[in-house]
Amino acid sequence: MNLEKNITLVDTAQQKVNTWLEGNYDEETKTAIRQLLETDQTDALNDAFYQDLEFGTGGLRGIMGVGSNRMNRYTLGMATQGLSNYLLKSFPDQEIKVAIAHDSRNNSDAFAQIVADVFSANGITVYFFEGLRPTPELSFTIRELGCQSGVVLTASHNPKEYNGYKAYWTDGAQVTAPHDKNIIAEVNAIKSIEDVKFQGNPEKIHVIGAEIDEKYLQKVASLSVSKEAIHRQHNLKIVYTPLHGTGITLVPRALQMFGFSNVTIVEEQATPDGNFPTVVYPNPEEKDAMKLAVEKAKAIDADLVLATDPDADRVGIAVKDLKGEFVLLNGNQTGSLLIYYMLNAWKKAGKITGNEYVVNTIVTTDLINHIAEKMGVKNYETLTGFKYIAEVIREQELSGNGATYIAGGEESYGYMIGDFVRDKDGVASCAMIAEMAAVVKDQGKTLFELMIEMYKEFGFYKEDLISITKKGMNGAKEIAQMMSDLRANPPQEIAGSKVVELRDFKTGQIKNFETGAETKTTTESSNVLQFLTADGSKISARPSGTEPKIKFYFSVNEKLEKAEDFDQVDQKLTNKIKAIVADLQLK
């Protein structure tokens, strides 16, 4: 191992490096490790080997490369073997079926083949997409083909160095309790690559493609509630970018099936490419990622800009403001508009009976709660993650109460209309956002003006987010310490407003400091803290489950009396968020 180079590794990394060099790993992998040793890449080796890449409640996500803490053939194989073992125990004496899809990331197709091989080697029937496909279609496919599980290879909107592995259950949702913990236990029980069956069985692997696309798109098309308005506004100018991802396979077709005939694709970003050459982060939340699409929209005087992330489950949009300038809407704004539009459309159609519901997460704007309440629709709040929104739908179905799910969403640009998919769906969301734009244009308005009408009716809610990244071996410890300090010494006042309520979703305790009342949260335990202040502000602290980050969410609100006051109130809310950030010393 060229120890004369004085490579000093932490004990766990040293042990794992020895195992990989001496074990039944391929020669290319061993050569890469030796090169790191010979070039004194101590930090790189420590980070790549100090731990096993954690199989969390959603699956795997990490940097690609050699090592136990990286996405590669071996970490994928061990994860899939563990999932296979759990499936075989959970569904004895029956045919087990899984579906597999992948996005446009580097190695996603090869990783998907490895996963298919391991499943098939364990006697599991595999439905394997012929090429890249959006994540929501994978969720649909599990339900459509009666699969017990499914996997999509994607790292969503992470940088190009990352890849990931998301596991799904029988209802097409990402795994939740008790299956998530049980699968993790089975994965952790795989101690050696010798336990993994890598040699696939081609007879068990069935290629799928166009036939599933058609069934999924028909379901998407069935969501439309304003066909007449689209017919009149079919020429609505839409600019769409898939940001080098899977959206190109289905979003343009979905828009066409809805009736839109004037869609311009951002050609520079139309070809799937895991290097994401035109962006640093392929994330529609990022202004830079939306730059080319907005420039195209300005050039052709478009009505609407749509962008999806690499696996097409998230959507970012740009619309014209009151001055005719394109502005980006955030996930809370777009999600609120979709709920506002859908509930009004259902009410107009006479479909609101009092047994309908919408769902959003605890870090999403409270504006959705107020809209639902006024419309006579139940609103459920869940922990962060679409698997929890899907869990609410599953619970409602099992209750037999006949309740109808309309829509749901989360602040991180994910929305789900209808329940034939059980994950956030960028394809269907693009189509519904375009329909919403067509309806308001038919009324002589813009989506921005619709948003102002919503704010005038329910209050101007403004949200923001700060992510603090803590990388490497010590990052997790630093994040844990930040949460520990907040619990031990919670702020009594934030930006001049008294903290009136503390919600600790880890302990399940809600404390009202004004009344002294203590109640319980209605969710399972999660490491999230929320502080509610007397002026109606809400501040949430939550470590990310997929990235080395801790996220702070801010929500503030004010009344908006008239449209002309928008800029003034917007600035006031911006200043309030800045004051909160400064008071909590987050920048």
Active site residues: 156
Do 207 and 128 touch, CB atoms closer than 8 A? yes
- Determine the Cα–Cα distance for residues 90 and 555; give it in Å rounded to an integer: 42
Distances (CA, A) of 534 to 74, 203, 546, 556: 52, 64, 33, 11
- Determine the Cα–Cα distance for residues 100 and 113; give it in Å rounded to an integer: 9
Residues 6+ apart with CB under 8 A from 297: 237, 239, 304, 305, 318, 326
| Total length of the chain | 587
Do 119 and 79 touch, CB atoms closer than 8 A? no
- Determine the Cα–Cα distance for residues 103 and 310; give it in Å rounded to an integer: 6
Q: Is 54 helix (H, G, I), strand (E, B) or coil?
A: coil
Closest to 268 in 3D by CA, of 257, 276, 260: 276
198 burial type by CB count under 10 A (0-12 exposed, 13-18 middle, 19+ buried) = middle
Q: Where are the alpha helices (DSSP H) in 207-325?
A: 210-221, 227-232, 251-258, 291-300
Q: CA dihedral defined by 83, 84, 88, 90, rounded to 10 degrees?
A: 20
444 burial type by CB count under 10 A (0-12 exposed, 13-18 middle, 19+ buried) = exposed
Q: Where are the alpha helices (DSSP H) in 23-69?
A: 27-38, 42-49
Closest to 361 in 3D by CA, of 290, 410, 401: 410
State yes or no: cis peptide before 202, omega within 30 of 0: no
Q: Where are the alpha helices (DSSP H) in 376-416?
A: 386-399
- Determine the Cα–Cα distance for residues 347 and 292; give it in Å rounded to an integer: 38
Q: Is 156 helix (H, G, I), strand (E, B) or coil?
A: coil
Distances (CA, A) of 295 to 220, 243, 301, 325: 29, 14, 10, 11
